[in-house]
Amino acid sequence: MTIFIIIITTLILLIGLYFFMIAPRMLRKPEINRFYGYHYAHRGLFDNDSSAPENSIHAFQLAIDNGYGIELDVQLTKDNIPVVFHDSTLKRMCNTKGHVHDYTLKELKELTLGISNQRIPTLKEALKTIKGATPVIIEFKPYNMPAKLCNSVWSVLSTYKGPYCMESFHPLMVRWFKKHQPGIVRGQLCMEYWKEPDYKGQVLYILLSFLITNFLTRPDFISYKHEHYNNISRKLCRKMGATAFAWTIRSVKEKEDAEPHFDLFIFDSCKL
Protein backbone atom coordinates (compact mmCIF):
# COMPACT_ATOMS: atom_id res chain seq x y z
CA MET A 1 0.00 0.00 0.00
CA THR A 2 2.84 2.38 0.86
CA ILE A 3 4.53 1.73 -2.52
CA PHE A 4 1.23 2.37 -4.28
CA ILE A 5 0.84 5.71 -2.49
CA ILE A 6 4.41 6.67 -3.38
CA ILE A 7 3.81 5.83 -7.05
CA ILE A 8 0.55 7.80 -7.20
CA THR A 9 2.11 10.76 -5.37
CA THR A 10 5.08 10.73 -7.72
CA LEU A 11 2.81 10.64 -10.76
CA ILE A 12 0.75 13.56 -9.45
CA LEU A 13 3.91 15.57 -8.79
CA LEU A 14 5.29 14.82 -12.26
CA ILE A 15 2.02 15.80 -13.93
CA GLY A 16 1.91 18.98 -11.86
CA LEU A 17 5.51 19.76 -12.82
CA TYR A 18 4.71 19.21 -16.50
CA PHE A 19 1.77 21.64 -16.36
CA PHE A 20 3.95 24.18 -14.54
CA MET A 21 6.68 23.89 -17.19
CA ILE A 22 4.41 24.38 -20.21
CA ALA A 23 1.96 26.94 -18.81
CA PRO A 24 1.62 30.24 -20.72
CA ARG A 25 1.25 33.61 -19.02
CA MET A 26 -1.95 33.51 -16.97
CA LEU A 27 -1.77 36.70 -14.85
CA ARG A 28 -1.32 40.37 -15.77
CA LYS A 29 -1.74 39.54 -19.46
CA PRO A 30 -1.47 42.36 -22.02
CA GLU A 31 -4.28 43.10 -24.46
CA ILE A 32 -4.22 40.56 -27.29
CA ASN A 33 -7.73 41.03 -28.71
CA ARG A 34 -6.47 43.70 -31.11
CA PHE A 35 -4.64 40.96 -33.03
CA TYR A 36 -7.89 39.10 -33.75
CA GLY A 37 -9.89 39.78 -36.91
CA TYR A 38 -6.91 39.54 -39.25
CA HIS A 39 -5.13 36.91 -41.30
CA TYR A 40 -1.38 37.54 -41.29
CA ALA A 41 0.58 37.77 -44.53
CA HIS A 42 3.81 35.84 -44.03
CA ARG A 43 6.70 38.20 -44.89
CA GLY A 44 4.11 40.55 -46.37
CA LEU A 45 1.80 39.77 -49.29
CA PHE A 46 4.69 38.66 -51.47
CA ASP A 47 5.49 36.97 -54.74
CA ASN A 48 9.21 36.43 -55.26
CA ASP A 49 8.69 36.42 -59.03
CA SER A 50 7.26 39.93 -58.94
CA SER A 51 8.04 43.48 -57.87
CA ALA A 52 6.84 42.61 -54.35
CA PRO A 53 9.28 40.00 -52.97
CA GLU A 54 9.15 38.71 -49.39
CA ASN A 55 9.93 41.12 -46.55
CA SER A 56 9.92 44.10 -48.90
CA ILE A 57 8.28 47.48 -48.51
CA HIS A 58 6.08 46.75 -51.53
CA ALA A 59 4.91 43.43 -50.00
CA PHE A 60 4.01 45.17 -46.75
CA GLN A 61 2.04 47.85 -48.57
CA LEU A 62 0.13 45.19 -50.53
CA ALA A 63 -0.76 43.43 -47.27
CA ILE A 64 -2.13 46.68 -45.87
CA ASP A 65 -4.05 47.44 -49.07
CA ASN A 66 -5.69 43.98 -48.91
CA GLY A 67 -6.67 44.22 -45.25
CA TYR A 68 -4.15 41.73 -43.86
CA GLY A 69 -1.95 41.80 -40.81
CA ILE A 70 1.78 41.40 -41.40
CA GLU A 71 4.38 38.91 -40.18
CA LEU A 72 8.00 39.93 -40.74
CA ASP A 73 11.48 38.78 -39.72
CA VAL A 74 14.20 40.81 -38.06
CA GLN A 75 17.95 40.32 -37.58
CA LEU A 76 21.06 42.48 -37.21
CA THR A 77 23.57 43.82 -39.70
CA LYS A 78 27.30 43.92 -39.01
CA ASP A 79 26.83 47.42 -37.59
CA ASN A 80 23.93 46.28 -35.39
CA ILE A 81 21.05 47.81 -37.37
CA PRO A 82 17.81 45.76 -37.28
CA VAL A 83 16.83 44.82 -40.83
CA VAL A 84 13.88 42.85 -42.16
CA PHE A 85 15.16 39.65 -43.76
CA HIS A 86 14.37 35.97 -43.24
CA ASP A 87 17.36 33.83 -44.20
CA SER A 88 20.68 33.78 -42.42
CA THR A 89 22.45 33.96 -45.79
CA LEU A 90 21.93 36.28 -48.75
CA LYS A 91 22.13 33.60 -51.44
CA ARG A 92 18.43 32.83 -52.05
CA MET A 93 17.02 36.35 -52.09
CA CYS A 94 20.02 38.46 -53.20
CA ASN A 95 22.23 35.96 -55.06
CA THR A 96 25.15 37.06 -52.90
CA LYS A 97 27.55 35.12 -50.71
CA GLY A 98 27.71 35.50 -46.94
CA HIS A 99 25.42 36.16 -44.00
CA VAL A 100 23.41 39.26 -43.28
CA HIS A 101 25.58 39.97 -40.24
CA ASP A 102 28.70 39.97 -42.46
CA TYR A 103 27.56 43.21 -44.09
CA THR A 104 26.95 46.76 -42.92
CA LEU A 105 23.61 48.38 -43.67
CA LYS A 106 25.24 50.52 -46.35
CA GLU A 107 26.58 47.40 -48.08
CA LEU A 108 23.23 45.59 -47.83
CA LYS A 109 21.45 48.56 -49.39
CA GLU A 110 23.43 47.95 -52.59
CA LEU A 111 21.63 44.62 -53.05
CA THR A 112 18.18 44.01 -54.52
CA LEU A 113 15.59 41.39 -53.54
CA GLY A 114 14.76 38.68 -56.07
CA ILE A 115 14.04 40.02 -59.55
CA SER A 116 12.73 43.34 -58.18
CA ASN A 117 14.35 46.69 -57.50
CA GLN A 118 13.29 46.48 -53.86
CA ARG A 119 16.01 46.80 -51.20
CA ILE A 120 16.35 45.11 -47.81
CA PRO A 121 14.41 47.42 -45.48
CA THR A 122 15.43 48.36 -42.00
CA LEU A 123 12.87 47.64 -39.31
CA LYS A 124 12.44 51.37 -38.91
CA GLU A 125 11.64 51.76 -42.63
CA ALA A 126 9.15 48.88 -42.51
CA LEU A 127 7.32 50.33 -39.52
CA LYS A 128 7.30 53.77 -41.14
CA THR A 129 5.44 52.20 -44.08
CA ILE A 130 3.00 50.28 -41.88
CA LYS A 131 2.35 53.28 -39.58
CA GLY A 132 -0.07 51.39 -37.35
CA ALA A 133 -2.42 50.58 -40.25
CA THR A 134 -2.44 46.86 -39.35
CA PRO A 135 -1.06 44.61 -36.59
CA VAL A 136 2.49 43.32 -36.99
CA ILE A 137 4.04 40.05 -35.81
CA ILE A 138 7.81 40.49 -35.50
CA GLU A 139 9.81 37.28 -35.61
CA PHE A 140 13.23 37.55 -33.98
CA LYS A 141 15.67 35.38 -35.93
CA PRO A 142 18.20 33.43 -33.82
CA TYR A 143 21.26 34.27 -35.93
CA ASN A 144 22.74 36.84 -33.53
CA MET A 145 23.24 37.06 -29.80
CA PRO A 146 19.70 37.18 -28.37
CA ALA A 147 20.25 40.10 -25.98
CA LYS A 148 21.97 42.25 -28.61
CA LEU A 149 19.17 41.70 -31.13
CA CYS A 150 16.44 42.31 -28.55
CA ASN A 151 18.05 45.51 -27.30
CA SER A 152 18.59 46.85 -30.82
CA VAL A 153 15.04 46.06 -31.92
CA TRP A 154 13.54 47.51 -28.77
CA SER A 155 15.32 50.81 -29.46
CA VAL A 156 13.15 50.98 -32.61
CA LEU A 157 9.92 49.54 -31.18
CA SER A 158 9.91 51.76 -28.09
CA THR A 159 8.64 54.73 -30.14
CA TYR A 160 6.32 52.82 -32.47
CA LYS A 161 2.63 53.48 -31.80
CA GLY A 162 0.95 50.74 -33.83
CA PRO A 163 -0.08 47.26 -32.60
CA TYR A 164 2.71 44.69 -32.67
CA CYS A 165 3.86 41.56 -30.90
CA MET A 166 7.07 39.56 -30.86
CA GLU A 167 7.76 35.87 -31.41
CA SER A 168 10.79 33.64 -31.80
CA PHE A 169 11.86 30.01 -32.00
CA HIS A 170 14.62 30.97 -29.57
CA PRO A 171 13.27 30.87 -25.98
CA LEU A 172 15.93 33.30 -24.73
CA MET A 173 14.57 36.02 -27.01
CA VAL A 174 11.06 35.48 -25.69
CA ARG A 175 12.49 35.47 -22.16
CA TRP A 176 14.22 38.83 -22.81
CA PHE A 177 10.81 40.43 -23.35
CA LYS A 178 9.38 38.67 -20.31
CA LYS A 179 12.15 40.17 -18.19
CA HIS A 180 12.65 43.61 -19.74
CA GLN A 181 9.37 44.49 -21.49
CA PRO A 182 6.60 42.42 -19.89
CA GLY A 183 3.86 44.63 -21.32
CA ILE A 184 4.58 43.47 -24.87
CA VAL A 185 2.61 40.51 -26.23
CA ARG A 186 5.11 37.68 -26.71
CA GLY A 187 4.89 34.32 -28.48
CA GLN A 188 6.78 31.05 -28.74
CA LEU A 189 7.27 29.66 -32.23
CA CYS A 190 7.48 25.90 -32.39
CA MET A 191 6.91 22.67 -34.27
CA GLU A 192 7.42 18.96 -33.69
CA TYR A 193 11.13 19.07 -34.42
CA TRP A 194 11.60 15.31 -34.46
CA LYS A 195 9.59 15.20 -37.70
CA GLU A 196 12.18 17.42 -39.42
CA PRO A 197 15.35 15.71 -40.75
CA ASP A 198 17.71 18.40 -39.40
CA TYR A 199 16.58 17.88 -35.79
CA LYS A 200 15.93 14.14 -35.47
CA GLY A 201 17.45 12.55 -32.37
CA GLN A 202 18.30 15.84 -30.64
CA VAL A 203 16.92 15.78 -27.10
CA LEU A 204 16.88 19.55 -26.69
CA TYR A 205 14.61 19.97 -29.69
CA ILE A 206 12.28 17.25 -28.47
CA LEU A 207 11.88 19.22 -25.22
CA LEU A 208 11.28 22.40 -27.23
CA SER A 209 8.64 20.59 -29.27
CA PHE A 210 6.68 20.01 -26.07
CA LEU A 211 7.09 23.65 -24.95
CA ILE A 212 9.01 22.68 -21.83
CA THR A 213 10.81 26.06 -21.84
CA ASN A 214 7.53 27.95 -21.30
CA PHE A 215 8.35 28.21 -17.60
CA LEU A 216 11.19 30.55 -18.62
CA THR A 217 9.16 32.62 -21.07
CA ARG A 218 5.43 32.43 -20.13
CA PRO A 219 4.29 33.28 -23.67
CA ASP A 220 0.95 34.88 -24.46
CA PHE A 221 0.56 32.86 -27.65
CA ILE A 222 1.95 29.72 -29.23
CA SER A 223 2.66 29.85 -32.95
CA TYR A 224 2.86 26.23 -34.10
CA LYS A 225 3.37 24.53 -37.46
CA HIS A 226 -0.20 23.87 -38.53
CA GLU A 227 0.41 20.28 -39.66
CA HIS A 228 1.46 19.43 -36.09
CA TYR A 229 -1.80 20.61 -34.51
CA ASN A 230 -2.16 17.40 -32.44
CA ASN A 231 0.82 18.19 -30.21
CA ILE A 232 -0.45 17.68 -26.66
CA SER A 233 1.48 20.58 -25.12
CA ARG A 234 0.23 22.96 -27.80
CA LYS A 235 -3.36 21.91 -27.14
CA LEU A 236 -2.99 22.21 -23.37
CA CYS A 237 -1.49 25.69 -23.70
CA ARG A 238 -4.53 26.75 -25.68
CA LYS A 239 -6.78 25.28 -22.98
CA MET A 240 -4.83 27.33 -20.41
CA GLY A 241 -5.51 30.56 -22.28
CA ALA A 242 -2.70 30.95 -24.82
CA THR A 243 -3.79 32.23 -28.22
CA ALA A 244 -3.00 29.66 -30.93
CA PHE A 245 -1.37 30.89 -34.15
CA ALA A 246 -0.96 28.52 -37.11
CA TRP A 247 1.98 28.76 -39.51
CA THR A 248 2.27 28.68 -42.46
CA ILE A 249 -1.05 28.18 -44.26
CA ARG A 250 -0.63 27.85 -48.04
CA SER A 251 -4.15 27.14 -49.31
CA VAL A 252 -7.76 27.74 -48.38
CA LYS A 253 -8.07 23.99 -47.77
CA GLU A 254 -5.22 24.04 -45.24
CA LYS A 255 -6.89 26.94 -43.46
CA GLU A 256 -10.22 25.11 -43.30
CA ASP A 257 -8.51 22.02 -41.87
CA ALA A 258 -6.65 24.10 -39.27
CA GLU A 259 -9.62 26.21 -38.15
CA PRO A 260 -10.82 23.89 -35.34
CA HIS A 261 -7.37 23.86 -33.79
CA PHE A 262 -6.12 27.44 -34.06
CA ASP A 263 -7.32 30.99 -33.45
CA LEU A 264 -5.23 33.02 -35.90
CA PHE A 265 -3.47 32.20 -39.17
CA ILE A 266 -0.20 33.17 -40.84
CA PHE A 267 -0.30 32.47 -44.59
CA ASP A 268 1.49 32.85 -47.89
CA SER A 269 1.16 31.59 -51.48
CA CYS A 270 -2.60 32.18 -51.43
CA LYS A 271 -5.24 34.69 -50.37
CA LEU A 272 -7.53 34.01 -47.42
Which residues are annotated as catalytic? 42, 86
Burial 15-27 (b: 16+ CB within 10 A, else e): eeeeeebbbbbee
Instruction: Please tell me the distance from the alpha carbon of residue 59 to that of residue 44, in angstroms, as a whole number.
Output: 5
Which CA distances in Å does 4 have to 10, 11, 16, 18? 10, 11, 18, 21
Q: What angle do CA 216, 123, 69 make, to 5 degrees?
A: 75
38 neighbors 103 (Cβ within 8 angstroms): no
77 neighbors 47 (Cβ within 8 angstroms): no
82 neighbors 152 (Cβ within 8 angstroms): yes
Q: Which helix (H) or strand (E) segment is 74 a member of?
A: strand 69-76
Instruction: Please tell me the distance from the alpha carbon of residue 142 to that of residue 158, in angstroms, as a whole number.
Output: 21
